[in-house]
């Protein structure tokens, strides 16, 4: 495998006609990879650029102008490859169809064995991967990005591809196109759930994949009550199907019930709903990164994770966290925390409320 500088010398001289981006999941990681798509389109304006993505996330990329096609990967079914004859046969057909697309460049931004294997399976002559990978993924690449500092943000790690291909002079931009029909659908949904016409909304996203990332539900209840009392704005609970019980319990405990949209917005509709808010309050999550990509002000409550690597991109003023010697620990389960989840348990509502009110005031000034 060639060094990153040697790869850049080779790749910058080449013109690619058929490019495959491989980033199957998750929502936040897909958002972080969008600048690479935009940069590739600027560098190769006439190329066919496709994106291999896990089926549950495919709607997020529909109708994005920089992308030609979405290649759906049925991750749940293909997990049974080798154990199920039908799944194994389906996977073989998938690989055959992938090779038939005749890609000349494949870029893996996932850095795990299965995604890296797809670069090789695509048949592309040039296969780029990240320097920082796991599960021996590097075996399938012939080019890798340059090594970065440990605390480099995911967006910048992915954008290391730009240095190899010659679009590192292009600014990092997140492009998410929202169709007018989706805007109308989001507004109709909010109106149906009781949003006052013309009012500003605060989105509250209390869910997170890790237990340790979650601020206590009772604190969210107090925050929503205080925001309503201090600002007069309506709050909207936003989350997926897994967040329905959590959001329901928070809404039920509030003095003035917020609009609860948990489980009621498809992934395709979610950006249009987020765009209707003046502010999003939540955790280090995919929804938070989506809000940032849509240029929404955010208050990001961070506990066990590394804000430099996965926090709000270039928005340190959006972060609310306690300065503890044990953080970041990256523990995923509260039961394993030897400090009784202090990073979230001891974070006061008043601290989060103050940051939210400050950002809302800035939004009001900028809109005048």
Tell me the mean pLDDT in the region 233-238.
Answer: 96
Give the angle 61-66-71 at the CA atoms, nearest 5°.
Answer: 45
Using 50, 70 and 90 to split pLDDT, how confident is the model at 111? very high
**Phi (first) and psi of residue 176, to 5 degrees:** -125, 115
Q: 78 falls in which pLDDT band (50, 70, 90)?
A: confident
Q: Which domains does the chain have, with CATH numbers?
A: 4-165 (3.40.50.2000), 180-367 (3.40.50.2000)
Round to whole Å and give the CA distance between 368 and 363. 9
**What is the reported pLDDT for 175?**
86
For β-strands 48-54 and 126-129, DSSP reports them as unpaired
Q: What is the mean pLDDT of residues 235-259?
A: 96
Band the pLDDT of 138: cuts 50, 70, 90: very high
Pairing assessment for the beta strands 48-54 and 18-22 based on DSSP bridges: parallel
* Average pLDDT score, the chain: 94
> What pLDDT does residue 153 have?
97
DSSP helix, strand, coil percent of the chain (3-state; round to 5)? 45, 15, 40
Residue 123 DSSP SS3: coil
User: 88 versus 109: which is more confidently predicted?
Assistant: 109
Q: What is the pLDDT of residue 296?
A: 95
Confidence at 2, pLDDT banded by 50, 70, 90: low
Spatial distance between the Cα atoms of 306 and 150, rounded to a whole number of angstroms: 10
Residues 161-216 have pLDDT tens digits of 999 999 999 999 998 999 999 999 999 999 999 997 777 899 999 999 999 999 99
Half-sphere exposure of residue 157: CA atoms within 13 angstroms, side-chain side: 22
Helices marked H in the chain: 4-11, 27-43, 75-78, 85-100, 113-121, 154-158, 160-165, 180-192, 217-231, 244-253, 270-275, 286-293, 307-310, 342-345, 349-367
Q: How many CB atoms lie within 10 A of CB 319?
A: 16
pLDDT tens figures, 298-350: 999 999 999 999 999 999 999 999 999 999 999 999 999 999 999 999 999 99
What local confidence, expressed as pLDDT, does residue 368 receive? 62
pTM of the model as a whole = 0.93
Q: What local confidence, expressed as pLDDT, does residue 86 receive?
A: 86
CA dihedral sign of residues 205, 207, 209, 213: positive
pLDDT value for 1: 67
Residue 4 pLDDT class (50, 70, 90 cuts): confident
The Cα 48–Cα 16 span in angstroms is 9
């Amino acid at each position: 495998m060639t060094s990153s500088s040697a790869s850049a010398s080779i790749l910058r001289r080449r013109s690619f006609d058929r490019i495959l981006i491989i980033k199957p999941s998750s929502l936040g990681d897909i958002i972080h990879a969008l600048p690479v798509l935009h940069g590739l389109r600027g560098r190769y304006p006439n190329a066919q650029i496709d994106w291999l993505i896990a089926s549950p996330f495919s709607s997020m990329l529909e109708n994005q102008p920089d992308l030609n096609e979405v290649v759906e990967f049925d991750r749940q079914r293909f997990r049974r490859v080798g154990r199920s004859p039908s799944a194994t046969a389906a996977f073989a057909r998938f690989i055959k169809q992938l090779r038939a697309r005749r890609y000349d460049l494949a870029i893996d931004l996932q850095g795990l064995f299965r995604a890296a294997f797809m670069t090789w399976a695509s048949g592309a002559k040039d296969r780029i991967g990240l320097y920082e990978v796991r599960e021996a993924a590097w075996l399938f690449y012939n080019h890798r990005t340059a090594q970065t500092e440990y605390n480099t943000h995911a967006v910048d790690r992915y954008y290391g591809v730009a240095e190899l291909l010659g679009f590192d002079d292009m600014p990092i931009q997140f492009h998410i196109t929202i169709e007018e029909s989706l805007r109308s659908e989001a507004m109709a949904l909010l109106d149906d759930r009781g949003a006052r016409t013309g009012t500003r909304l605060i989105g509250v996203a209390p869910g997170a994949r890790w237990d340790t990332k979650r601020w206590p539900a009772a604190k969210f209840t107090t925050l929503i009550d205080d925001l309503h009392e201090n600002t007069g704005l309506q709050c909207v609970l936003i989350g997926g199907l897994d967040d329905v019980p959590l959001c329901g319990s928070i809404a039920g405990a509030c003095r003035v019930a917020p609009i609860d949209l948990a489980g009621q917005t498809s992934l395709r509709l979610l950006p249009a709903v987020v765009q209707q808010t003046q502010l999003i309050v939540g955790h280090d999550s995919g929804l938070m990164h989506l809000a940032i990509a849509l240029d929404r002000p955010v208050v990001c409550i961070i506990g066990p994770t590394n804000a430099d690597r996965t926090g709000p991109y270039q928005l340190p003023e959006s972060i609310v966290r306690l300065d503890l010697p044990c953080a970041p620990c990256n523990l995923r389960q509260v039961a394993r925390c030897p400090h009784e989840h202090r990073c979230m348990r001891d974070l006061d509502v008043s601290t989060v409320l103050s940051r939210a009110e400050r950002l809302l005031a800035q939004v009001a000034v900028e809109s005048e």
